[in-house]
Every structure is written in structure tokens, then in C-alpha cells.
Structure 1
Amino acid sequence: MIGNEAVVPAKLDKATRNADRTRSLILEAATQEFAELGLAGARVEKIAEKAGTNKRMLYYYFNSKDELFIAVMERAYFSIREAEKELHMHDQTPIEAIRSLVSFTWNYFLEHPEFMGLLNTENAHGGVHVKNSESTALNMPLIDMIGEVLHRGQQESIFRAGVDPVQLYISIASLTYFYLSNKHTLSTIFSRDLMSSKAKVERLHHMLDVILGYLVIN
């Protein structure tokens, strides 16, 4: 009896680990497919194949293609929000905290182009999937964190008053997003390689100057 009791939990634990791994592989494969081909272009069969499973198992974990996309979006937002927590903005001076956030946002978008692809797809569909997800709850702690930094900066007479943390974050993200999502056309029309090492450094410095130039009281 004791031997059987010891075996059953081990089997269940292994099954749980296998299920978690399969689900993770599906999400990883789906992320790449949705980012590259969009919701309409991505094929469930291809996602299952890349994940090393089959359609039946994919639909076992995710009831539909739309539900899978919602899970992918939640995972993408969770990943960036968790990474932002590692900045520990509350432990930095207000100026250092904003510099860290701007630099992080730039580098994260550079290193995770699939995130922009997912955003493009979701916006093309009117944001309907985000509305049916837990993304709002995932993102609000970031706004609270920015608000706390702004409050400290205002209390110390470093930052201007009346800054909306949501508007500020949108500005930071847009300075990165527009540049990178239009890098090919912008590089062509301005005859400049905007993705050269020198250009990327210059872009980050420009972003820091723009954001801090707006916030800091002279």
C-alpha cells in the first residue's frame, strides 16, 4: 500500500510536467507563427507540428485558434511585465528609474521582434482578444510603478507635475515601436541604415533626451 502511494504521486507529477512542457511548446510555436503570419495566416497544423504534437492535443489545451492567440498574448504581456520588475525602479532615483525604463523598453523590443508582430496582429483585429484576456491586470502594476516614480520626482522637485503615467509609457513605447516597425521604409527613404550599431545607440540617446527633456524641470 505504501509502495503504491509513493508511485501514484510520482506518475501524476510526471504527467503534470509533461503537460506543462507540451503547453509551453505549443505557446512558443504559436507565438512565432502568429507574429510572422498573423492570426489569419497562421495554421493550427503548422503550430502543432512545430510543437512536436498534433491538432487533437493542441485543441485539448486550447479550445480554439482564438483561445490560443489569447493565451499567446497573455504570455507575451506577462513576459515583458515580469522582466520590467527586475528593473527595481523603486530602488533607483527618479531620473535613474526613467532612464532604466526607456533603455529596457528599447532593448526588449530589439530582442523580441515577435512582440511587435503580435501587437500588429491584435491591433489589426481591433484588440478583441486582449479584451477577453487578463492583460489589463497584468499591465496595471507597471503603470502604478511609473506613477510612484513620477510622484517621487515631483516631491523632490525634479519632475514636472501633472504627468499621466499611462501617457508617459505610451510615449516611451511609441518612440521604440514606430522606429523599429518602420525600420525598412525609414532606412530607405532617408538613405540611412537605422539598424546599424551606431544608429541604434544614437536612437536610444535620442529617446532618453526626449523623455527626460520633457520630465525634468530645468
Structure 2
Amino acid sequence: MTTRRAKSKINARDPLATKAKILDAATREFALRGYDGARVDAVVKRARCNINLVYHYFGNKEKLFIAVMERAYSRIRSHHKDMELRNASPEDAMRGLIASTFRMFIESPETIGLLVSENIHHARHIKNSPLIVSMYDALLDFMRETLDRGVASGVFRAGVDPTDLFISINAEGYFYLSNRHTLGVILHQDFMTEARLRQRETFITDVIMGFLRP
């Protein structure tokens, strides 16, 4: 009892660290079991904190999941690096976006589980997050501007819709990684070696850039 009270006092004095620890544990729990299968007491066990702190900071399971998704989408957006790529040539900017998108899924594999779960729920939870709803507006603007610059300089074809392009860039990497286990069995390969990942990244980049050429 004394130990639990001591932990609670320590956590209460460092709310940012405690919230981050809870979010880390919740991310693993939701990614592994989905929204329906995840349990708050399992999050508490993973985070090694008092359950009252979870409800104090996040309110309930649904709000905790939304917080997890907001952090996940924020990390996804940071991987796109569109702000860094704005001054690059159209071709370099697009290559950078393609590579960073693929690498994001590799470096944050829990993102796949979270997205699968939320799609099962028809995006019911993220619809309640103004942060997530508006998060991709700047990226689509960047893609539109990059395409326009590429058309003006003669390196990209005209008429490419940035939304369709965004979907295709994500789909090329997402399917490969979300289905890596089943693909590995039926195609007799280990798709997660660094050499194989580099090969896939090059392939995706060549496919997308090839499509964009005039």
C-alpha cells in the first residue's frame, strides 16, 4: 500500500512524464488488441501506474484512445517532413515524401494496428478530434504545390490529383508491411530485412515517380 501511494505521489509531481508513460502503454495495448479488445487495467499494468491517474488525465477509455490516435497521427505527420521539403526541387521533394512515408510505417509499426482498429469502427473516434480532422490540410497543399511546380518545370505530368497520389503513396508501403507475415509465408521471403526494405522503398519510389513523369 505504501509503495502504491509513493508511486502516485511521484507520478502526480510529473504529469507530463506520467501522461507520456500512459500513452506509450495504451498505444501498445490498442495496437495489439484493437479498441474493443483493449482494457484500461491492462494499460495500467503496462504503465505501472495507479488506475486513478488514467481516468484523471484522460477521462475514460474512448478519450484515452482518441489521445493515442492524436499522438499517432502527429508522429505520422512529423515523418512526412513536408515543411523541410518545401524548398527542394519538385522531384527531390516528392522522392523525400515517398521515402519518409514508407519509413514511418517501419519505424512506428504500432500505427498499422491502430489504423486497422479505427477503420473497423468507421473512424468513429477520430471524427471527434478537431486536431486530426485538420491535420492533413497542409500536407495536401504541399503536394499540390509540388505537383504544380513540377508541371511548370516540365518534370511532372499535368492533371494528377494530390489526394489520389497521397493514397497511392501510402498504399504501396502500408500493404507491404501490414501483410508482411502472410506474404512471407506464401512468397517464401523475409520481408523485414534491411536489404528487402530498401528494395521495396526503391521500388515504390520508382513506381510513383515513373507515374508522375510527363
Are positions 1:71 and 2:72 aligned together? no
Identity percentage over the alignment?
A: 43
Equivalent residue letter for 1:108: M
Are positions 1:124 and 2:120 aligned together? yes
| Whole-angstrom distance in 2 between the partners of 1:82 and 1:195 | 23
Show the 5 A alignment for 1:11-90.
18-85=14-81, 88-90=84-86
Show CA shifts across 1:10-61 (max 9, x none).
xxxx999712221111111101111111112211012122223222111111
Select the structure of larger CA radius of gyration: 1
| Whole-angstrom distance in 2 between the partners of 1:199 and 1:68 | 36
Contact 2:22 2:43 in 1 (8 A): yes
Are positions 1:199 and 2:196 aligned together? yes
| Whole-angstrom distance in 1 between the partners of 2:82 and 2:143 | 14
Q: Which residue of 1 aligns with 2:183?
A: 186
| Whole-angstrom distance in 2 between the partners of 1:28 and 1:129 | 19
Aligned residues: 204
Show CA shifts across 1:193-212 (max 9, x none).
22233322221111011100
Equivalent residue letter for 2:67: A
* Runs of 4+ that moved beyond 6 A: 14-17
| Whole-angstrom distance in 1 between the partners of 2:82 and 2:164 | 22
Q: Which residue of 2 aligns with 1:4?
A: none
Q: Which residue of 2 aligns with 1:96?
A: 92
Superposition deviation, residue 90 in structure 1: 1.0
| Whole-angstrom distance in 2 between the partners of 1:17 and 1:148 | 46
Are positions 1:156 and 2:170 aligned together? no
Contact 1:89 1:149 in 2 (8 A): no
Superposition deviation, residue 109 in structure 1: 0.6
Equivalent residue letter for 1:96: D
Q: Which residue of 2 aligns with 1:216?
A: 213
Contact 1:87 1:101 in 2 (8 A): no
Contact 1:29 1:47 in 2 (8 A): yes
Q: Which residue of 1 aligns with 2:3?
A: none
Contact 2:169 2:208 in 1 (8 A): yes
Q: Which residue of 1 aligns with 2:169?
A: 172
Superposition deviation, residue 82 in structure 1: 2.2
Equivalent residue letter for 1:192: Q
| Whole-angstrom distance in 1 between the partners of 2:138 and 2:83 | 13
Are positions 1:142 and 2:139 aligned together? yes
TM-score (norm 1): 0.88
Equivalent residue letter for 1:78: S
Going from structure 1 to structure 2, the CA distance change for 1:128 and 1:175 (only over 3 Å counts) comes to: same
- 2:156 partner SS: coil
Are positions 1:115 and 2:111 aligned together? yes
